[in-house]
Chain A
Amino acid sequence: MLEARIIKKRKHCTIDIDLCCKRGQLVALTGPSGTGKTTIIRTLAGLEKPDGGRITFNDSPWYDEKVNCWLPARKRRVGYVFQEHTLFPHLKVAGNVGFNCKDTGRVKELLALLGISHLAESMPHQISGGEKQRAALAQALASDPQVLLLDEPFSALDHNTRLRLRRELKRLQAHLEIPIVLVTHDREEASFLGDLRLELSGDDIRNEEPALPKDYICPFPVLVRQPAPCASHPL
């Protein structure tokens, strides 16, 4: 379980949130631009240091202001998918997915899982935006992450591709059984994918129950019914 109290001072405001994400759960962070969604997810990844608070994963601390503990990004074993394509331009798709994964079998398996086996030998500039994001997702999953962090992974894609990838992510979520934190502008996307939505609005942050489409059958009905879990797990 990923638990975090993040305090981060910014130019005009201070982010101060509690976040809790259980195994197999997807927490969607929504809100307008500038409310600190990306800052929060970067802090969870270890790419930015908070100004206060605490981040733990399964009770082992990643950051603790009180004891001056800070685990660097490379030691956190998180999967991170950026807003825009961040594949290494000098490596083929298979090389990107296997950047830090020696197990070629796992690389092939992930390429197949995301439907991009045929692109294994392609260079990143030869593939489409949707395919790049699939490859980025495979890359994030290849190192067997403990937590998956997705920073608006579909925002740069066209509507149809976005819908298709959204469904694929939902399918993957059933496979993964790890905490997933998704940043998105899109409330519908948050409702479709999220077991819990954390709405960031200026300085006000509130937890909301998920609002799933009526025809959607969630693979984790128990988790979906969870009330705002941060309240039940104070740090």
Chain B
Amino acid sequence: MDFVPLIISAKLAVVSTILLLVLAMPLAAALVFGRFPGRFLADSLVSLPLVLPPTVLGFYLLMLMGPNGAVGKAWSSWAGGSLVFTFTGITLAAMIHSLPFAVQPLKTSFQKIDKRLLEMASVLGASPAAIFFRVIVPNSLGGLAASAILAFAHTMGEFGVILMIGGSIPGRTKVASIAIYEYVETMHYREAAYMSLILVIISYLVLVGVNMLNSRERHA
């Protein structure tokens, strides 16, 4: 069995999870605590990948990130290369597809924070940034971990969007789920079974982790 697709999947999941957390934390805070026009529209847009078929999302991302798309052109003029069929391209696509999985647990966690704690911090002279890092983040560690775990797990199993943006280039964009699909197509059931089992174990461990965190939060 070729382990390279698993390594690419793991690398993709780690990189996109780290970047997603950086993006999701301020985004979730803005959606929960922000009072700006169009907040509900923004909230719905963030959640859209949850309900869209991956191929639909992948198609629009391909249009945007392709050589004639706005993002593709901007990337090409800045970095001098293509976004599609690259690891960077699939990372960006995976991040967009997993965004709601990172944002939702953070939103739930932020909503649980007693508003008076934020008011107290404000009265004590803390700036909005200080309130975020010194009150909101330390009181949302469970949500932060759940967000990271779900984003990681979702990216590990990513298929449709990755196939649309990255194709199946061995050693570059061929991830575990695509490798399983190809094993089945070529009737290599034993390899497909091994790789699937590894993904099942990873997914199960992730869910155990999320449940442990939820249980710890409930008892805290």
State which residues 107-164 of B face A: CB under 8 Å: 114, 116-117, 119-127, 134-135, 138-139
Question: How does the 8 Å CB contact mask read for B59-101 relative to A, with 1 for contact and 0 for none?
Answer: 0000000000000000000000000000000000000000000
B120, A82: Cβ atoms closer than 8 Å = yes
Chain B interface, DSSP helix/strand/loop, else mixed: helix
B125, A88: Cβ atoms closer than 8 Å = no
Q: How far is the CA of A84 from the CA of B115 in the complex (A)?
A: 12
Question: Using Cβ atoms and an 8 Å threshold, which residues of chain B touch A100?
Answer: 124-126
B114, A74: Cβ atoms closer than 8 Å = no
A144 CB to closest chain B CB (Å) equals: 10
Point out the residue from B114, B116, B121, B127 that lies within 8 Å of A99, measured CB to CB: B121
B115 CB to closest chain A CB (Å) equals: 10
Point out the residue from A72, A84, A90, A99 that lies within 8 Å of B124, measured CB to CB: A99
**Looking across the interface, which residue of chain A has its beta carbon closest to that of B128?**
A74
B123, A46: Cβ atoms closer than 8 Å = yes
Q: How far is the CA of A77 from the CA of B120 in the complex (A)?
A: 12
Point out the residue from B114, B127, B134, B139 that lies within 8 Å of A86, measured CB to CB: B114
Question: Using Cβ atoms and an 8 Å threshold, which residues of chain B touch A86?
Answer: 114, 116-117, 119-120
Q: How large is the interface on A (under 10, 10 to 19, 20 to 34, 35 or more residues)?
A: 20 to 34
- Asked if A184 is at the interface of the complex by the 8 Å CB criterion, the answer is no
With contacts A88-B135, A90-B139 taken as known, whether A99 is within 8 angstroms of B117 at the C-beta atoms is no
A143, B124: Cβ atoms closer than 8 Å = yes
A15 CB to closest chain B CB (Å) equals: 19
**Looking across the interface, which residue of chain A has its beta carbon closest to that of B113?**
A89
B138, A45: Cβ atoms closer than 8 Å = no
Q: How far is the CA of A99 from the CA of B122 in the complex (A)?
A: 11
Q: How far is the CA of A86 from the CA of B121 in the complex (A)?
A: 10
> B-side interface residues toward A, CB under 8 Å?
114, 116-117, 119-127, 134-135, 138-139
Pick 20 A–B contacts, CB within 8 A, sort by A. A45-B123, A73-B122, A73-B123, A74-B127, A75-B125, A79-B123, A80-B119, A80-B123, A82-B120, A86-B114, A88-B120, A88-B138, A89-B117, A90-B139, A99-B124, A99-B134, A100-B125, A139-B120, A139-B124, A143-B125
